Amino acid sequence: MKNSCKQLTSRHKHNAGYTLLELLTTTAILGVLLSMAAPYLCKVTP
């Protein structure tokens, strides 16, 4: 039983990167922030 737990935890350590859900969430948040900031940026820049 202890060996199988060690194998599972060692596999997760090698998983370096972002999941698709994290990337989609970040993209959605950035899209909302940019859509709110766009009108203000258009007024400031000539």
- For residue 28, the model assigns a pLDDT of 98
Count Cα atoms within 13 angstroms, Cβ side, for 14: 4
Q: How does pLDDT run across 1-46, given as a tens digit for each residue?
A: 555 555 555 555 667 899 999 999 999 999 999 999 998 888 876 6
How many whole angstroms separate alpha carbon 42 and alpha carbon 44?
A: 6
Q: 3-class DSSP state for residue 16? A: coil
Residue reference for tokens 């959605």: 28
- Phi and psi, residue 6, nearest 5°: -65, -35
pTM for the model: 0.56
- For residue 16, the model assigns a pLDDT of 83
- For residue 8, the model assigns a pLDDT of 54
- For residue 44, the model assigns a pLDDT of 79
- For residue 27, the model assigns a pLDDT of 98
